[in-house]
Structure 1
Amino acid sequence: MANVADLKLEDLKLQRLWVLKLEAEIIEMSINIEDEPDCGSDVDVMSDDGPYILGIPSTEPSSVVTLETNETTKRKRRSVVWDEFTIIDGKGFDDGKNRAECKRWKVTLRDKKVDQDFVRDKITKLIVRHELPLVFVEYEEFRELITYLFSGYTHIAQNTQMSDILRLYNLESIRIRNLLNSFAGRISLTSDLWTSITNDGYIALTAHYIDKDWLLPKKLLKFCILPPPHTGIHICEMVSKILSDWGIDRKLFSITLDNAIANFYFVDLLKKNLNLKNALLCRGLHFHNRCCAHILNLIVQDGMKHIDDSVVLVRSSIAYVKGSHARKVKFLEICKQLGLQSSKGLRADVSTRWNSTYLMLDSALFYYKAFENLELMDDNFKTCPSFEQWLKIERLTSFLYPFYAITVLLSGSKYPTANLYFENVWEIHKSLLEEEFMVSKLAEMDNGSKSQLDIYLDEPKISFNDNEYDEYDVLAF
C-alpha cells in the first residue's frame, strides 16, 4: 500500500511539473499574431488572441486544430501541445479574446498582449464613476501598479485623459440618443433649478420612461450652468434646445416641476411650442404636474415657522455639543454611562430641508437623558429643553413622521408614484385633523392669509346624484 501511495504522489508531482513547464513556455515565449510566420515553418502558433508557443518541434500531431479567420485560408496549429488544450471562443469574455483551456487541469490561459485601448477605457470609466481627479493617471503609485501588471502599457498625461473622457461622453451620448429613440413609448421629464454658494444657477433635466422589459429607468439629459436671467422664456429656450438635441421633442408625455413662478410661464411656453408640432397628447392637457414631495415640503415648512421654541432649543443643544472635541467626549461618556448607543449620532438640520429637521429631532429625542445629564455636569450648557418641552418634541416628532415617510416614498425613481399620491395625501390630511395642537398652531398664521396647506387642500367640490355626496370633497373622503 505504501508503494502504491508513493507512486500516486510521484505521478502527481510529474503532472504538476509538466503543467508548470507548459505554462512557462506559454507565458515566456509568446509572440503576437502579426509576427506569425507561414504555417509551414517550424514556429508554432495558437490564434489571433490566444497564447503563442515557440520552441516545440513541428511534428504532425494525431489531430490538427484549426481556427477560422476572416480570410479564405485556415491556419493550422501544428504543435502536439494543442492535443492538451481546448480553444474557447472569446465572444463570452469582455475583451472578446480567445482562451485556451487545459484538458487535464482546467486552467484557462490567454496571450500576454496588452490591449492599450481596453485598459485606457477601463481607467476612464473608473475616474468618471468615482469622481477621481484627472491627475490620478499621473500618480506615481498608480503608474507603478499598471507597469507591474502590464509591462507594455504606455502611460498618458491628464490632458490626454481629459480627451478620453470627452470621447467616452460622446459615445455614451450617441448610445443613449439611439436608446431613447428606439422604443415607441413616450418619455416623462423632471427638472429642477437651484443656485450654488457661488450664486451660479444650475439646471438639471432628467428623462423617465418604461423600457421593453417593463422597468422604469431614468437618464440625466443635461446638467449645466443656466446663465441669468432665470426667467420662464430663458428656461424654455434652454429646455427646448436640450430636447431638440436629443431628438425627443415629439415623444414627451409629461413634465414634473416644483411651484416656482417661473416654471409656470416656462411650461406654458413649452406647451405652446410643442402643440405647434402636434407633439403632445390631448393638446397637453395633462402635460404639467406639480411635484407632490415639494408640496409636502412647503406645507411642513409653513407650519414649522409657527412651532414654539422647543425646536430652536434642540438645534442649539446639538450645536453646543458639536462645538468642541471636549464636549463630544464628555457627551459620549455620559451616553456610555446611561447605556445609550453612540452609533445613532446627533444630526444637525438644514433650514431649507424640513426632513433634516425631523431627523434632528428624532436623534435628539433618543439622547434626551444624556442632554439632561450634561446640563447637570456642565454649567455653560444653558439650552437644554425642559421636561415639558421634551414631551412637545416627542409629539411633534411622531406628527412629522408620516410626512417624512411619505416624502421618501414619493421621491422614489425606480417605481411609479402616481398611484401612491391620493391615498398618502389623504392620510396626511387626516393626520392634520386629528392633531388638534398642530391645527391650532397652523390656524394662528399671520394676517389670516392662506398658507401653502390651505391652497393645496382647497380642492373644488364634486356633486353627485346621490344627495349624500352633494358636499363631497376629494381630500376629505
Structure 2
Amino acid sequence: MSSKRKHSPLWTHFTEDIDNKKAKCNHCSTIISIAGGSNGNLTRHMKTKHLLIPLTAERQTPILPSLNSLQSSQSTCESENIISASSNIVDSQQSMTQYIRRPPPVPKIEQIDKQLVKMVAKGHHALRIVEETEFRKLIELVSQCPGYKLPSRKTLSENLMSRIHNDVMAEAKIKVQAAPALSLSTDGWTSRNNDSYIAIVAHFINEETKLHSVLLGCINYKERHTSQNLCDFMKVVMAEWNISHTVAAIVSDNAANILSAVRLGDWRSISCFAHSLNLVVQEATKKISHKENIN
C-alpha cells in the first residue's frame, strides 16, 4: 500500500488486510477490494452505507516555531514582544478549536445508528426519514447543541406550534402579496364526523419564475353551502390576505353552488380538469351498465 493512499482520511474508517488488496470497514465489517490502487471503492462505500459519517480528517493545530530558532542577536525587548505575540497566536488557535468539526468515535456512531434503527422500527417511521431535508437539518442542529432537550408534547402542541405557525403565516403573506397575479383553487368536503370543511390554495409564479402554492385556509365551515355564503367566504379570505385585487381566476369542481359563487364574485371560473374527467367516466360507466342490463 502506497504511503500516499494510506495518508487519506478514508483510512480512519478502514483496516487494511495483510495482502494489501482488500480493506475491512470499521463500521460494518464489510470487505472491500482495493486491488485497483485507488480509494474509489472505499469512498463509494462510505457515501452509500455510512452517509452520516464525515469523511474529513481532524485538523491539526499548527505548531509554532520554537523560540530557540530566534537569532541570539535580538534584544531582550524584542524577544519579549515575540513571546507575547506567540502567546496571543496560541490563545487564538485554541479558541478556534471549538469550531472544528471532528468526526465522532466509532463506538458512538454505532450507538447512534442503533438508536436510529430503534426509532424507525418502534415508531413505524418510513425509511425515507433519513433522506428528508428537515430531519437532516434537525440532526445537524442538535449535534451542535449537546445540551438540547426535546420539549414535552404539551409544549410542542400548545406553545411551539402556534408560535411557529404565526411566523410561517407572516412569511407566506409576504410571498403571496408580492405576486402580481395569482389563481385560487377551492374545494369542500365532509368528514366522517359530519363536519364540513372548505380549503383555499393560492398558486402563483415568483420573481424566479418558480411555481408556488400556499394554503390560505382549511376551515371548519358551519354555514349553509349556498352560492352567496360561499362567495362571501372567499371574499373574507381574500381580504385577510390582501389579494382581492390580484386574483385572476378560481379553479373549482363543477358543483352548481360553487360555480354560481364564482360568478357572483365576478371572478373567472376554471373547472377542475380531474373532476370533469371523473364525471365523464362516471357517465360513461352508467351507459355501459345500462346496455349490459338490457342485453
TM-score, normalising length: structure 1: 0.33
Per-residue deviation at 1:260?
A: 0.6
Matched with 2:252 is 257
Q: Report the AA paired with residue 216 of structure 1.
A: L
Among residues 234, 243, 246, which one is paired with 1:248 in the alignment?
243
After superposition, the C-alpha distances for 1:325-364 in whole angstroms (9 at most, x for unaligned) are xxxxxxxxxxxxxxxxxxxxxxxxxxxxxxxxxxxxxxxx
Which of the residues 229, 237, 246 maps onto 1:234? 229
Are residue 221 (structure 1) and residue 191 (structure 2) matched?
no
Question: Among residues 243, 248, 272, which one is paired with 1:291 in the alignment?
Answer: 272
Structure 2: segments with no counterpart, 5+ residues: 1-6, 8-57, 62-82, 105-124, 126-140
Matched, 1:61 2:85: yes
Alpha-carbon offset, residue 207 of structure 1: 0.6
Which of 167, 172, 175 is the aligned partner of 2:163?
167
Aligned to 1:190: 185
**Given residue 223 of structure 1, which amino acid in structure 2 is its aligned partner?**
C
Give the residue type in structure 1 aligned to 2:92.
Answer: W
- Partner of 1:197, secondary structure, is coil
Matching of residues 31-430 of structure 1 within 5 Å: 60-62=84-86, 78=88, 80-83=90-93, 100-101=99-100, 152-162=147-157, 163-183=159-179, 185-271=180-266, 284=267, 287-308=268-289
The Cα of 1:261 is off from its aligned counterpart by: 1.0
Answer yes or no: is the 8 Å Cα contact 1:100–1:108 preserved in 2.
no
| Structure 1 runs not aligned, ≥5 long | 1-7, 9-18, 23-58, 64-77, 88-98, 110-129, 131-145, 272-283, 310-440, 445-477
Distance 1:223 1:61 in 2: 64
C-alpha distance after superposition, 1:94-118 (max 9, x if no partner) = xxxxx634xxxx8599xxxxxxxxx
* CA distance in 1: counterparts of 2:220 and 2:289, whole angstroms: 40
Aligned to 2:65: none
1:174 to 1:296, Cα distance in 2 relative to 1, 3 A = same
Distance 1:149 1:175, change over 3 A: closer
CA distance, structure 2, for counterparts of residue 62 and residue 241 of structure 1: 69
Per-residue CA distance 1:410-432 (angstroms, 9 max, x = gap)? xxxxxxxxxxxxxxxxxxxxxxx
Asked if the contact 1:60–1:80 (Cα under 8 Å) also holds between the matched residues in 2, the reply is: no
Which structure carries more relative contact order (alpha carbon 8 Å, separation 6+)?
Answer: 2
Bigger Rg, which one: 1
Determine which structure has the larger strand proportion and give its number: 2
SS at match of 2:99: strand
Tell me how many residue pairs correspond in the alignment: 180
- Alignment partner, residue 143 of structure 1: none
Contact 1:189 1:205 in 2 (8 A): yes
Identity of aligned residues (%): 27
CA 1:155 to 1:217, structure 2 compared with 1: closer, same or farther past 3 Å? closer
